[in-house]
Amino acid sequence: MSHDISSLRKFVSPEIVFGAGSRKAVANFASNYGARHVFLVSDPGVERAGWVAEIRDLIAAAGLRCTVFTGVSPNPRVDEVMAGAELYRSSECDVIVAIGGGSPMDCAKGIGIVATDGRNILEFEGVDTIINPPPPLILIPTTAGTSADVSQFAIISDPDRRFKFSIISKAVVPDVSLIDPEVTETMDGYLTACTGVDALVHAIEAYVSTGSGPLTDSHALEAIRLINANLEPLVRNVGDARLREQIMLASMQAGLAFSNAILGAVHAMSHSLGGFLDLPHGLCNALLLEHVVAFNFPSAEDRFRRVADAMGIDTRGMSAPLIKQRLMARIIELKRAVGLEAKLAELGVTNSDIPYLSGFALQDPCILTNPRKSSLRDVQVVYEEAL
């Protein structure tokens, strides 16, 4: 009996511990991996919030040594990955822990790759380029949106090209993700909005991706539903623990969906834009979302109908053009409600930048699973519409 293996779907995930206080298990998990000297990666903002000191103390209380590296920018750069890897090796560390948003977590992934292999992180750009497994990796997310703690993606910024490049491999799926809503309490409303919309984009793109399937669809749709219902009230009241937990759960589910279904044109264009202007990733996604939805809609009408349903739109009896109109209106309404109304031109993008941005967007692996095939001119038009 023959089978068509092209229809098969794999699903990769770390071990996940979800819930308030889960971060406090960090030393136990490090010990389980045989750690003697932990390399703790974070950034200055998370350190100022007090989370680095807490994790370091938990590790020390278990009798483990700890070296701290906080030299990570909001968009982690090649030189930061290389500096971290050198410190990891010179300190003779054996397990990596990262606490922070997507930047420290992606940097930690890059550090693990380089520390094991010894080559420049630039040499690992692309899909399935990693041969030697990195050290054990334990991640603690402090934002509810990037989902780097559950994904097989690492996004690194190359300042020489003014471009963010992707490393996609199951080798960078963390061993453990400790998803603790308590550590998101130090996020302000703006960061909550940016990362929440980032998670929404992850979920929408994963659901309409050509790599989607039954193992990812349920996660994607539930993430969309949770974000649609809870993000606006959370931005208005960032101290609400229940709402934070709901958005953290949505971020996790969106991450599991996109890690396995991959993404689409929003992320391909966002990586190019963020690398060019060093902008927050979630903001870039927010600025592009409805424009890419409009472009993709004809190629995935049934899927977008389900997305609209998950966003609270009663699509019964609606024509496809009306569903498209209502879905775009809801996306714009949600962005406005959480304060993400900017246009690309307001952030410094000009018409003369668009050919450069479009060229890099077409090189991004995420464009390969976009539901509608995209030419250079297609991408240019979407950028122009977002100006």
Q: Are 266 and 205 spatial neighbours (Cβ–Cβ below 8 Å)?
A: yes
| 346-380 CB burial, b ≥16 within 10 A, e <16 | eeebeeebbeebbebbbebbbbbbbbbebeeeebb
What are 281-303's pLDDT values in tens digits? 888 999 999 999 999 999 999 99
Nearest to 26 by CA among 110, 141, 159, 130: 141
* Tokens 């511990």 -> residue: 17
Q: Where are the domains of the chain?
A: 7-184, 189-386
- Give the pLDDT mean for 290-319: 97
Secondary structure of residue 338 in the 3-state scheme: coil
Tokens 């603690």 appear where?
140
Q: In the prediction, which pLDDT does 8 show?
A: 66
The answer to which of 1-15, 118-132, 133-147, 327-341 has the lowest mean pLDDT is 1-15
Q: Parallel, antiparallel, or unpaired for β 163-168 and 176-179?
A: unpaired
Which amino acid does the sequence have at 342?
Answer: A
How far is the C-alpha of 190 from the C-alpha of 179, rounded, in Å?
A: 21
Q: What is the mean pLDDT of residues 194-198?
A: 94
Q: Residue 24: is its pLDDT beyond 60?
A: yes
Q: State residue 279's pLDDT score.
A: 81
pLDDT tier at 6, thresholds 50, 70, 90: low
pLDDT one-digit tens code per residue, 29-67: 999 999 999 999 999 999 999 999 999 999 999 999 999
Instruction: Give the H/E segment covering residue 153.
Output: strand 153-158
Higher pLDDT: 346 or 292? It is 292
Contacts for 265 with CB less than 8 Å, ≥ 6 apart: 292, 295, 296, 361, 366, 367, 370, 372, 374, 379, 382
β-sheet bridge partners, residue 140: 99
Coil, helix or strand at residue 184: helix
CA distance 113 to 129: 10
Say which residues have a Cβ less than 8 Å from residue 259's Cβ, sequence separation at least 6. 12, 13, 147, 150, 151, 152, 153, 173
In this prediction, residue 277 carries a pLDDT of 83
Beta bridge partners of 99: 140
- In angstroms, the CA 101 to CA 256 distance is 16
Stretch 237-245: mean pLDDT, rounded?
A: 95
pLDDT for res 163: 84
CATH of domain 189-386: 1.20.1090.10
CA distance 336 to 314: 21
Return the percentage of the chain with pLDDT > 70, whole number.
Answer: 98
Helix axes 214-236, 320-337, angle to 10 degrees: 40
Which residue's structure tokens are 């090209």?
161
> Is CATH 3.40.50.1970 what the domain over 7-184 is classified as, yes or no?
yes
Pairing status of strand 163-168 against strand 137-141 = unpaired
Question: What does the radius of gyration of the chain's CA atoms come to, in whole angstroms?
Answer: 20
The pair of three-digit structure tokens given for residue 93, joined into one six-digit string: 């560390």
Give the per-residue pLDDT at 280. 82
Looking at residue 258, its pLDDT comes to 96
List Cα–Cα distances, 160 to 79, 122, 301, in angstroms: 11, 11, 40
Confidence (pLDDT) at 175: 98
- The answer, yes or no, to whether residue 72 has pLDDT greater than 70, is yes
DSSP H helices in the chain: 26-32, 44-48, 51-61, 78-90, 102-117, 189-208, 214-236, 241-261, 265-277, 281-296, 301-310, 320-337, 354-361, 376-386
Residue 205: phi and psi, rounded to 5, are -65, -40
Average pLDDT over residues 241-269: 96
Average pLDDT (186-195) is 93
The answer to whether the CB of 362 falls within 8 A of the CB of 258 is no
* pLDDT (tens digit per residue) in 126-154: 999 999 999 999 999 999 988 999 999 99
Torsion from C-alpha of 305, 235, 255, 249, nearest 10 degrees: -100
pLDDT at 35: 97
